[in-house]
């Protein structure tokens, strides 16, 4: 997955001439955007999970083609708060995209391995199914022949299902994070 191409494609779809979807965030001060004991430097701080989840939920409900404006309402403001808030948001969602992609790559590797094991198991089951065809055609041999065939195909079902449908799971979070990373950030008093 080439994330830069996906990001450019996604950003081209946004209609800049439309009024933005405004996502209000109400806080006392910039310190509430991140955790007090976050080990990252101030601009690299991780966004408070409650705020992150709220923003992701709001973006999921917004039209894909509408621009976004995160409107932060601080009770107390000082110089540089807008830039710092924008940095925290951009860095947080950049990190979220990166971490989601790493997790997706690991998941794909895991399911490829499971698929290979499933194919091997299917081959073994089909082999045993064919072995039971050699013996006289009584009820037990026929049941064993069909059982091995069915077990082999059932074992392959979940890895095949992932490659057909499951690989798309989590793409909404990546898309929403890309949109939030590129959203306008404004401070309202």
Asked whether 175 and 163 are in contact (CB, 8 A), the reply is no
What confidence score (pLDDT) does residue 139 get? 82
pLDDT of 1 over the 60 cut:
no
pLDDT surpassing 90 at residue 138: no
Q: d(Cα 98, Cα 92) in Å, to the nearest integer?
A: 10
Mean pLDDT along residues 99-103: 89
Is 174 within 8 Å of 100 (Cβ atoms)?
yes
Structure confidence at residue 175 (pLDDT): 87
- In tens, the pLDDT along 20-67 reads 889 999 988 888 888 777 776 666 778 888 999 999 999 999 888 889
pTM: 0.76
Round to whole Å and give the CA distance between 71 and 25.
Answer: 6
* H or E element at residue 154: helix 139-164
Distance CA 175, CA 134 (A): 55
* Rounded distance between C-alpha atoms, residue 43 and residue 78, angstroms: 15
In this predicted model, what pLDDT tens digit does every residue of 83-92 receive, in sequence order? 888 999 999 9
């Amino acid at each position: 997955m080439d994330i830069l191409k996906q990001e450019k494609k996604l950003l081209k779809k946004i209609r800049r001439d439309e009024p933005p979807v405004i996502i209000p965030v109400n806080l006392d001060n910039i310190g509430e955007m991140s955790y007090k004991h976050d080990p990252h430097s101030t601009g690299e701080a991780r966004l408070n999970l409650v705020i992150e989840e709220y923003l992701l939920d709001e973006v999921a409900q917004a039209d894909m083609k509408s621009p976004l404006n995160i409107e932060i309402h601080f009770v107390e403001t000082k110089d540089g708060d807008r830039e710092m808030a924008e940095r925290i948001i951009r860095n947080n969602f950049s990190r979220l995209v990166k971490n989601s992609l790493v997790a997706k790559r690991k998941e794909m590797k895991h399911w490829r391995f499971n698929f290979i094991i499933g194919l091997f198991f299917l081959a073994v089951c089909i082999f045993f199914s064919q072995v039971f065809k050699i013996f006289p055609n009584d009820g037990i041999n026929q049941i064993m022949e069909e059982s091995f065939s069915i077990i082999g195909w059932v074992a392959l079902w979940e890895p095949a299902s992932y490659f057909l449908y499951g690989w798309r799971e989590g793409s909404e979070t990546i898309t929403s994070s890309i949109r939030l990373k590129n959203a306008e950030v404004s401070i309202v008093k």
